[in-house]
Amino acid sequence: MSDKDEAAQQDSGVNEQVVIQDKSEEPQTEADKEQEQAVTDYSEDTKGQLSMEVKVYSPFHDYYDGPAFSVSAENTTGPFDVLPKHHNFICLLMPCDVVLRTPEHGNQKIRISGGIMHVKADKVVIFLDV
């Protein structure tokens, strides 16, 4: 680099050697640690796609039992989606179409007149006709 280039760089305040953030540092907050763990969990998925176990059934009929990438339904606050790694969750479902995005069958719709959804540890259970 010439003397003119160095002088121009010093005048402009640009320093190419400055490290903005050192990635080797430990996360400072619990939220940072949780985010780093989630990224690690996602990257360890062997199939390249995250899924969760879903079971939709009533007392006399099993509608679906298998893996799904997401579940869409509606409760009193409106439509919502459940994705893998969702926090524990329970709610009453309103009459709606439950949409399951599955690896084998694509989108599956199940029309329901209401029910209960329970989400825990990547397992979604929907009880109908209760």
| Domain harbouring 74, CATH code | 2.60.15.10
Average pLDDT over every residue of 2-20: 50
pLDDT of residue 83: 92
In a domain, 33, yes or no: no
pLDDT band at residue 113 under the 50/70/90 scheme:
very high
Q: Are 101 and 50 in contact (CB under 8 A)?
A: no
Supply the range of the domain harboring residue 60.
52-128
Maximal C-alpha separation, the chain: 84
In a domain, 92, yes or no: yes
Cα 42 → chain centroid? 9
Number of domains present in the structure of the chain: 1
pLDDT of residue 116: 98
Q: Are 116 and 126 in contact (CB under 8 A)?
A: yes
In a domain, 98, yes or no: yes
**Stated length of the chain:** 130
pLDDT of residue 49: 66
pLDDT of residue 40: 55
In a domain, 38, yes or no: no
In a domain, 59, yes or no: yes
pLDDT band at residue 96 under the 50/70/90 scheme:
very high
Q: How far apart are CA 43 and CA 61, in angstroms?
A: 37
Span 24-63, pLDDT tens digits: 455 567 766 765 665 555 444 434 568 899 999 999 999 9
